[in-house]
Copies of this chain bind each other. A is one copy, B any other.
Amino acid sequence: MSFQTRRPTIRQVASAAGVSTQTVSRVMNKRPDVAAETRQRVLDVIDQLGYQPSEVARSLIHQRTYMIGVVTAGLKYTGPSRTISGITQAAEENGYALMIKELPRFDVHNVEPILKEFISRHVDGIVWAVPEVGENRDWVDQTPSLRGIPTVFLTMQPQAHLTVVSMDNYQGARLAVEHLIAQGYEHIGHISGPLDWWEARQRMAAWKDALQAHDLPAQDCHWVEGNWSSTSGAQAIQTLFNQYPQMDAVFAANDQMALSVLQAAQLRKIAVPQDLGVVGFDNIAESAFFSPPLTTIQSNQDTVGQWAVEELVKIILAHRQEQQDTFAPKTIILSPTILIRQSSQRIQS
């Protein structure tokens, strides 16, 4: 009943088939220059022994691993996990395996250990999927450690010398606020995300710009900073109700905070959308089932992940072929769309 605990090597296959290791290698790599008869004999042995060539050994020879290193944070939140999902899909399709590291927080500065691990594991490329928060991108310019490993950054302020893939937060937020304005709301408050987040600043800037473009008020007492959580949204909306009594609509920087607005409105018997329009951001799965269903911005986070991998694979290929890392850095911005639901529809269409 004892079965071999150790995997068979190419040598064992070779000797069992009565050929050299080279021939086995040729068969495994589907080279044409093997006699049909020999090939079959080798294949039989391979099948019988359950031989599986070691990708580790291959990696050592070819100096490539078909492995992409991915850095993420906050996986338990919907945004990052949707991005990762897009990454896994695209990686699978392109024949790359994924090595994933999750940072304990979003604003980790000391990324050396992670870079070193990626380098020592010899990943072919890196997807830096942590959103830009505070100074958590400072390392990029200070770290030569990347040593020319192809890297794509997600969700950050574009920089000319980096390849960046991001959703257009400004445009998305602009859509949200313009929609509210079109619905006739004139006093539109904002609950922002934490302003050390690049995305939060983008969304907020769009709110302000849209209002100003329509000569509507956008003052300091018309917005409050949240931290993405529903809890923070609950506090924020209380503050807004107090300091902005004329407010007839709210643009929340994400759906979780928008949910708190809906809850607060209900408790105060404020009718949504008649007396208060509400728009969120992200389109989490539950938002269609809030009371009332929430108008929101569809941000396609998975697509961001997919594009990042597609682009990275191109860079990796160029990098290997041309021997030069002059595959021009590029910024890819994806456009979100608005999903109009009941929470903002004051005008019957």
Q: Which residues on B sit within 8 Å (CB–CB) of A267?
A: 291
In angstroms, Cα B256 to Cα A302, docked, is 21
Cβ of A99 under 8 Å from chain B: yes
Q: Could you tell me the dominant secondary structure of chain A's interface residues?
A: helix
- Show the binding face of A for B, using Cβ within 8 Å: 3, 5, 7, 50, 52-57, 59-60, 65, 67, 75-76, 78, 80-82, 84-85, 88-89, 92, 97-102, 104, 116-117, 119-122, 144-145, 147-148, 229-231, 233-234, 256, 259-260, 262-263, 266-267, 284-286, 288-291, 302, 323, 325
Q: Which residues on B sit within 8 Å (CB–CB) of A59?
A: 56
Known: A56-B56, A85-B76, A120-B55. A260 touches B234 (CB 8 A): no
Known: A56-B59, A259-B289. A89 touches B76 (CB 8 A): no
Known: A5-B325, A76-B302, A121-B55. A99 touches B97 (CB 8 A): yes
Known: A56-B60, A121-B55, A302-B76. A50 touches B145 (CB 8 A): yes
**Which of B54, B88, B286 sits near A256, CB closer than 8 Å?**
B286
Considering the complex, give the chain B residue whose CB is closest to the CB of A233.
Answer: B289
Considering the complex, give the chain B residue whose CB is closest to the CB of A75.
Answer: B85
**Which of B56, B65, B285 sits near A229, CB closer than 8 Å?**
B285
Tell me if B291 and A122 are in contact (CB < 8 A): no
16 contacts between A and B (CB under 8 A): A7-B147, A56-B59, A75-B84, A76-B78, A76-B82, A80-B81, A81-B81, A85-B102, A88-B102, A97-B121, A230-B288, A234-B289, A256-B285, A256-B286, A259-B289, A262-B291
Q: Which of A5, A144, A259, A285 has the most CB of B within 10 A?
A: A285
In angstroms, Cα B99 to Cα A60, docked, is 18
Known: A5-B325, A262-B291. A52 touches B102 (CB 8 A): no
